[in-house]
Chain A
Amino acid sequence: MTDSAPTNDGQQFDRLPETPADREVEGRASRAEVLDWWAERFGIGGGVFEEYSFWEKGAGKIWIFNGEATDPSEVEAVGMTFLRTRQEHWKPTGRAVSRFGSRATKNVIELDPEQASRFAAGDDQDIPEWDGDWGYLIATHEVAGESVPIGVGLYLYDELRSVVPKGSRADLPVVE
């Protein structure tokens, strides 16, 4: 990287490059890598996101947007937060999982009613029976006969850690 290479300005929205070969700002994820990540991690194919554009603001925070924009550098938000990059393990946002997670085919952990309430409250819990991957999982539960994503959990050493942000935690009754 030379002195003249563009760097990430954390205060403004910049569109992701299409592929790693198009990358001008060091460390910035490309659209192709973002789509690959959702496909590999959760089995959500790129077709789902075909109409959306992706933007970075802040260090590695990726936003997903379904509207028109050319130079939204001076706006407060475009679409919704979607994915945290620029770290070893990328992390989907709870909102992204809530919006798109019902299409996931893997790394989905179904919680029983009591586990679901504890998860929404932000509690960590032992779930040793999970025999899938470690890392970020989509936690779901059943509502009136259908599986619904609740948010993102981090599974490590037999434990599911709820990473529901403090402001989104809820004290909910157990619905059997």
Chain B
Amino acid sequence: MNPLDRYEPLVDDVDAFRAACDRPLPSVVRTNEIAATPARVREAFDEAGVAYEPVDWHDGLFRLPDGNPGGNWPYVHGWTHGQEEVSVLPTLALDPRPGERVWDACAAPGSKTTQIADAMDDEGTVVANDNNLGRLSALRHNAERLGITNAIVTNQDARNFSTKPLGFDEFDRALVDAPCSCEGTCRKNPDVLDQWTLDHVHAVAGIQKGVLARAVQATRPGGVVVYSTCTFAPEENEAVLDHVLDEEDCELVEFDLPLDTDPGVTQWDGETYDESVTRAKRVYPHRNDTGGFFCAKLRVGGEETEVGA
């Protein structure tokens, strides 16, 4: 079975959705503003004759219609990083600031970690964690290549993450870009559709709940937690939010993303979710000609404490 079939009731234009899912995505790079401005990257591409197209909702992104994002000087200098367009969304929602303490719970291979460090002007502390040691080497390579100096890399199970090795015991912000079924990446890697199973959906949903709960616990009162996946499965999205809203002191908040999105769904497969999950955002491939994505922003409950205090 093609798992995309099961999501047809959720989308407004099934034909457009399916057609978009069948089209490959172009290579895209994000400017690493620790090293260069988007204007410098454009100048260097122009000088070298590298074809590029802007992305209208983010001036630091460039589509490279000829592919080969690593085959040019801006890449070698760490000015650019290959990253799918929708993958920049969770960090935009997280909105980390210089000087803060930020946790990237499932960080490898580091696209979001490095984008977070960039948004922090490389000041403050971003703790990049992943339970997979092999994938951490890719993260470290990317962080070094982009000149990130404010990251601590840890290798723990995020569900019971310990802040013991750190100089503090709670974060201002946390990102849970969770391992998932990944159907949203089918335009880059169609194999994900063949490998999809409902058993995996249920197994990974349990992990997602554990990681998101720990992220809420590890974030200070008034702090921000962003939850994101690249799956359309409500079991891994709204159901995970619904569970954590019940178990932990937190709420879903409204937020803006710079492209067209659909609200989270409150009903799926006989289950009903908390009404506030409509504040989460679904990104369908046919809306903006991107990959698929899901993103939610939570505020941790309790009285606000001072940032960095």
Contacts and interface: CB of A to CB of B under 8 A. Distances in A.
A67 B153 contact: no
11 contacts: A51-B123, A64-B149, A69-B166, A74-B154, A77-B153, A78-B153, A79-B151, A80-B147, A80-B149, A98-B35, A150-B76
Interface string B68-79: 001111111110
Given A144-B40, A170-B71, A68 B166 contact: yes
B243 interface: no
A97 B193 CA distance: 43
B71 A78 contact: no
Name the residue among A51, A99, A170 with the largest chain B CB count within 10 angstroms: A99
Nearest to B74: A143
B148 interface: yes
Given A68-B125, A68-B167, A72-B165, A170 B149 contact: no
B134 to A, nearest CB: 12
Interface string A16-51: 000000000000000000000000000000000001
Contacts of A98: 35, 77-78, 147
Contacts of A90: none
Interface string B22-54: 000000000000010000100110111000000
A162 interface: no
A167 B145 CA distance: 11
Contacts of B77: 98, 143, 148, 150
Where chain B touches its partner, the secondary structure class is: mixed
Contacts of B48: 173, 175
B165 A73 contact: yes
A79 B147 contact: no
A172 interface: yes
A112 to B, nearest CB: 14
Contact of B149 (A72, A79, A145, A167): A79
B71 A77 contact: no
B276 to A, nearest CB: 34
